């Protein structure tokens, strides 16, 4: 059922072309206005004396300052603003089996920070403050299916982290449920196969971050054996099925756990709150919280009108990037099985010091010219030949908190002479091993999960 959905893009309800046309149509039809405004014009928000920005209800999220000390890397102490949102939200996809194929009910959703306004989102995408109706708006569509889901309805149910450099220990409930009954399809929703969603990920900024993180958790080896899965298949899809199902690996999972535990014990990460008004290198003006050197990101305020949302108009802060990012995996066949070069990366908002990240995860606008000071493997990715590039698109970050942020997402196949020996903070993992870590909370960061979700098995 799930494998058929992954391999199917022939959808009797909506072809992939029709879905793209539908997204374009909704972009034309839905009235969207996002105006940058000063912080003192943010209705229902206020600034504390220390410079932090909070919602009047005490809910939703806040912009606060943190003081970070670590012995990881070359920058060992800094202060920065960060999003504090301790509540757990829902990222949920409702599915139904139709004629032996699993279909996902996906939403054409607009967030104020989206690059192209409408993106394909999960069935349910809501913070606890949203679905508790703190904003006095309507209840999110299809909420009742997830609140009332029984164990036998649940395909996937995990708590997964958000961006560790922008959120303070933030997690969302990633959940996929399967229902038997007829489901009413509302105006901004369509049935799609998993294969269609993955195909749409090959277009810039069509599938939003929340969809990508939820789908990354589907462990292929739960639904197919190596023998069955490889019948009649060839090429990259066959190789990915093999990597996700075989027990053959360059390094054992036990050794990976020991490696990761050792790194968590080796590096310290101390994070405490500090006044926004006392962050060296940052300044708060009437309209933004910004670094003096213009790097990384800034905080802005916006007034939003979106005609088809639970609340049609509201104000909020957003994080605006100052540079585009790069998230890339290097993959290599080792003894006939594709392995991914994974790094253990520390970010200030992580729950447990380090998380598994793509081979390269960086901001491209601040890369030093000195090659020795550049991120490991950055030059290899940037100089990859066309035939090495498996995947290369621009993917948006979550538009509910980030203003027009997109990262270049890449998967690059290494040459045969690419060394198996790697630095201490890196390791080779088969796809099966990656999925083992994805079973649990806070092992793979959201950038790694986004790339894993883009893998095609066709």
Closest CA to 217 of 443, 445, 435: 435
Domain for residue 131, yes or no?
yes
What is the structure's pLDDT at 458?
77
Say yes or no: 335 and 429 in one domain.
Answer: yes
Check whether 6 has a pLDDT greater than 90: no
Does residue 123 or residue 222 have the better pLDDT?
Answer: 123
154 CB neighbour count, 10 Å cutoff: 13
Q: Are residues 339 and 208 in the same domain?
A: no
Q: Is the domain of 372 the same as that of 406?
A: yes
Percent of the chain surpassing pLDDT 90: 83
Whether 46 is in a domain gets the answer: no
The stretch 209-233 carries a mean pLDDT of: 77
> What would the pLDDT profile of 78-92 be if each residue is shown by its tens digit?
999 999 999 999 999
Number of domains the chain contains: 2
What is the model's pLDDT at position 234?
A: 65
Per-chain mean pLDDT for the chain: 93
Of the pLDDT bands very low, low, confident and very high (cuts 50, 70, 90), residue 130 is confident
Predicted confidence band at 137 (pLDDT cuts at 50, 70, 90)?
A: low
Residues 156 and 245 in one domain: no
Lowest mean pLDDT among 96-110, 117-131, 145-159, 283-297: 117-131
Residue 422 lies in a domain: yes
366-416 tens-digit pLDDT: 899 999 899 999 999 999 999 999 999 999 999 999 999 999 999 999 999
Question: Do 122 and 7 reside in the same domain of the chain?
Answer: yes
pLDDT in tens, 159-209: 999 999 999 999 999 999 999 999 999 999 999 999 999 999 999 999 999
| 101 and 211 co-located in one domain | yes
Domain boundary among 223, 251, 280: 223
Q: Which of 128-132, 225-229, 259-263 has the lowest mean pLDDT?
A: 225-229
Supply the range of the domain harboring residue 438: 240-269+324-453
Contact between 302 and 318 (Cβ < 8 Å): yes
Residue 77 falls inside a structural domain: no
Q: Are residues 196 and 260 in the same domain?
A: no
**CATH classification at residue 354:** 3.90.79.40
In a domain, 260, yes or no: yes
* pLDDT above 70 (res 136): no
- Give how far Cα 80 sits from Cα of 168, 171, 222, 275, 353, Å: 11, 20, 42, 10, 17
Mean pLDDT for the stretch of residues 3-8? 85
* Residue 283: pLDDT band with limits 50, 70, 90: very high
Pairwise CA distance, residues 250 & 329, whole Å: 17
Residue 128 sits in the same domain as residue 261: no
Question: 131-140, 318-327, 357-366: which range is least confident on average?
Answer: 131-140
Q: Map tokens 């300044």 to a residue.
A: 283
Instruction: Give me the residues paired with residue 92 across strands.
Output: 124, 175
Q: CA 165 to CA 29: how far, in whole Å?
A: 35
- Please write down the HEC assignment for all residues of the chain: CHHHHHCCCCCCCCCHHHHHHHHHHHHHHCCEEEEEECHHHCCCEEECCCCCEEECCCCCCEEEEEEEEECCCCCCEEEEEEEECCCCEEEEEEEEEECCEEEEEEEEEECCCCCCCEEEECCEEECHHHHCCCCCCCCCCCHHHHHCCCHHHEEEEEEEECCCCCECCCEEEEEEEEECCCCCCCCCEEEEEHHHHHHHCCCCCCECHHHHHHHHCCCHHHCCCHHHHCCCCCHHHHHHHHHHHCCCCCCCHHHHHHHHHHHHHHCCEEEEEECHHHCCCEEECCCEEEECCCCCEEEEEEEEEECCCCCCEEEEEEEEECCCEEEEEEEEEECCEEEEEEEEEECCCCCCCEEEECCEEEEHHHCCCCHHHCCCCHHHHHCCCHHHEEEEEEEECCCCCECCCEEEEEEEECCCCCCCCCCCCEEEEEHHHHHHHHCCCCCECHHHHHHHHCCCCC
Last-in-domain residue among 223, 254, 279: 223
Residue 276 lies in a domain: no
Residue 142 has pLDDT above 60, yes or no: yes
pLDDT bucket at 231, cuts 50 / 70 / 90: low
By CB atoms closer than 10 A (0-12, 13-18, 19+), residue 74 is exposed
Together in a domain, 203 and 246: no
In a domain, 310, yes or no: no
Burial of 30 from C-beta contacts in 10 A (0-12 / 13-18 / 19+): middle
Buried/exposed 253-282: b ≥16 CB within 10 Å, e otherwise: eeebeebbeebbeebebebeebbbbebeeb
Q: What is the pLDDT of residue 259?
A: 98
- pLDDT beyond 70 at 233: no
Residue that terminates a domain, selected from 191, 223, 255:
223
What's the whole-number mean pLDDT along residues 222-246?
A: 75
365 alpha-carbon distance from chain centroid = 21
Q: Give residue 376's pLDDT.
A: 97
What's residue 133's pLDDT?
65
Per-residue model confidence (pLDDT) at position 127: 86
């Amino acid at each position: 059922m799930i494998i058929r959905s992954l391999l199917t893009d022939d959808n009797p309800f909506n072809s992939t072309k029709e879905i793209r046309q539908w997204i374009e149509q909704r972009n034309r039809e839905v009235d969207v206005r996002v105006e940058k405004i000063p912080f003192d014009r943010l209705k229902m928000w206020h600034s504390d004396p220390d410079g932090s920005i909070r919602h009047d209800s005490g809910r939703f999220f806040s912009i606060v300052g943190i003081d970070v000390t670590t012995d990881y890397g070359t920058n060992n102490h800094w202060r920065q603003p960060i999003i504090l949102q301790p509540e757990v939200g829902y990222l949920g996809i409702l599915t139904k089996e139709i004629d032996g194929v699993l279909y996902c009910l996906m939403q054409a959703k607009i967030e104020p920070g989206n690059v192209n306004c409408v993106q394909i989102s999960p069935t349910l995408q809501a913070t606890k403050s949203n679905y508790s109706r703190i904003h006095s708006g309507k209840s999110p569509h299809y909420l009742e299916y997830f609140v009332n889901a029984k164990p036998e309805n649940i395909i996937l149910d995990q708590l997964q982290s958000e961006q560790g450099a922008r959120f303070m220990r933030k997690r969302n409930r990633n959940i996929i449920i399967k229902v038997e009954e007829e489901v009413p399809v509302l105006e901004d929703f369509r049935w799609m196969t998993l294969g269609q969603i993955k195909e749409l990920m090959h277009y810039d900024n069509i599938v939003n971050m929340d969809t990508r993180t939820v789908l990354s958790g589907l462990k292929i080896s739960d639904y197919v054996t190596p023998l069955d899965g490889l019948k009649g298949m060839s090429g990259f899809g066959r190789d990915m099925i093999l990597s996700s199902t075989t027990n053959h690996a360059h390094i054992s999972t036990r050794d990976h756990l020991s490696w990761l535990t050792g790194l968590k014990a080796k590096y310290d990460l101390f994070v405490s709150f500090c006044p926004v008004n006392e962050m060296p290198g940052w300044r708060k003006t009437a309209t933004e919280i910004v670094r003096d050197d213009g790097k990384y990101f800034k905080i802005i305020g916006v007034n939003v009108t979106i005609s088809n949302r639970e609340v049609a108009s509201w104000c909020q802060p957003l994080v605006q990037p100052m540079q585009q990012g790069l998230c890339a995996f290097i993959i290599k066949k080792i003894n006939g099985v594709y392995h991914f070069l994974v790094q253990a990366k520390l970010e200030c908002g992580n729950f447990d010091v380090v998380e598994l990240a793509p081979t390269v995860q960086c901001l491209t606008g601040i890369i030093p010219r000195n090659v020795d000071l550049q991120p490991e493997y950055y030059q290899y990715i940037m100089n990859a030949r066309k035939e090495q590039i498996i995947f290369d698109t621009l993917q948006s970050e979550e538009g509910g908190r980030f203003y027009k942020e997109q990262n270049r997402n890449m998967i690059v196949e290494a040459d045969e002479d690419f060394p198996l020996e790697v630095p201490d903070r890196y390791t080779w993992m088969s796809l099966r091993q990656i999925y083992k870590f994805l079973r649990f909370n806070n092992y793979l960061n959201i950038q790694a999960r986004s790339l894993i979700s883009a893998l095609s098995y066709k």
